[in-house]
Amino acid sequence: MKIAIMGGDGFVGWPTSLHLSNAGHEVHIIDNLSRRWIDTELGVQSLTPMDSIQERTRIWHAETGRKIRFHLIDLAKDYELLKNWLAEHRPDAIVHFAEQRAAPYSMKTDRHKNYTVNNNVNATHNLLNAMVELDLDAHLVHLGTMGVYGYSTVGAAIPEGYLPVGIKTMDGETASQEILYPSNPGSIYHMTKCLDQLLFQFYAKNDALRITDLHQGIVWGTHTDQTRRHPQLVNRFDYDGDYGTVLNRFLIQAAIGYPLTVHGSGGQTRAFIHIQDSVRCIEIALNNPPARGDRVEIFNQMTETHRVRDLAKLISSMTGAEIAWLPNPRKEAAENDLVVRNEKFLGLGLEPTTLKEGLLEEVVDVAKKFAYRVDRSRVPAVSAWTKDIAGKINRDPEGKSLKSVS
């Protein structure tokens, strides 16, 4: 297939681009490189040294003989440029990663909230709008989030996108219907993914676009089979309080002798997936498109769930790192259970990569190798969900004054 990967320079986009190129597809990366500018804004850099996208694709071609083409387009702002590109290339499939992906970043200030909404919602709508205008029957695969469901405890497994309900009719009977699982976003970022869902539902119903929405868990790990092929193909590794994902952050904190920062009780249960499984799931979704006129296909893209404090204890026992119990910058329940159904990917052949000590140690090794690139002052999570919470955040960069809140 000819595949356009929107946001292909990012944390999941880059290894996905390599994986699909390696499988023989013609891959085009569409990106505005905003994630690199955000690094500059935050005064932080990827733990792993990242070359320019041009150099990355050059190395891939030198190593494999396969070309990945890069096109600088801002999906949220350059509608005509995007439409013209799609008209010229008419890809068979589009993978949409082109959204600001960090919940803490989306909650930093009013400016960051506006940016996240404008970028994410406009990017999604511009893409859908252009596809309709061009009569482009490409399969759109979107990377969403488990966070659209929220993290409340309901005492039942979260289904894959749709919830069967009974509605009492005027004559007292019960009518059966399937609805989108009720959205319960926990941040501005998660809210934009909920808005994406509604856009997808409309365009699938109104214009018969073929859309797959992947509700992904928290990604951990850094390497895939393809990124291991050359040092300059390495994936980005975020460790800071805004973009670092919780398990990767624990692993680098352990590697540099920084306390493992558990916020609140650590009783938050989250869904997880390894980066290698993430790219495999995207390939599986691409190979199993819905038919034209079908409703949006929804997969829960995760392989396991864990409580944050249990992960901290696992990493602590493995590495000897101390655990610091800190005030929670997020507005969320102190404890929650999370049971998620993911039969669709398992039924299509996914063999999950679960938390194995060897893979965890691999991440620690990467962290130790590049520890000299760490700015310890960027490790704490300091973006607060509300002004009241902001006054309670612990901002000590070295952990010398970390105090327990339990």
Active site residues: 145, 189, 193
Would you tell me how many other CB atoms lie within 10 Å of the CB of residue 283? 18
Question: Across-strand partners of 2?
Answer: 26
Nearest-angstrom CA–CA distance, 271 and 140: 24
Q: Give the per-residue SS3 of 316-355.
A: HHHHCCCEEEECCCCCCCCECCCCECCHHHHHCCCCCCCC
Token pair 């090794």: residue: 365
Of 327, 203, 340, the closest CA to residue 271 belongs to 340
352, 304 in Cβ contact below 8 A? yes
- The answer for residues whose C-beta is within 8 angstroms of residue 363's C-beta and 6 or more apart is 220, 221, 222, 248, 251, 252
What is the torsional sign of CA 299, 139, 143, 26? positive
Residue 145: its H or E element? strand 139-145
Q: Which of 377, 395, 355, 356 is nearest to 256 (CA)?
A: 377
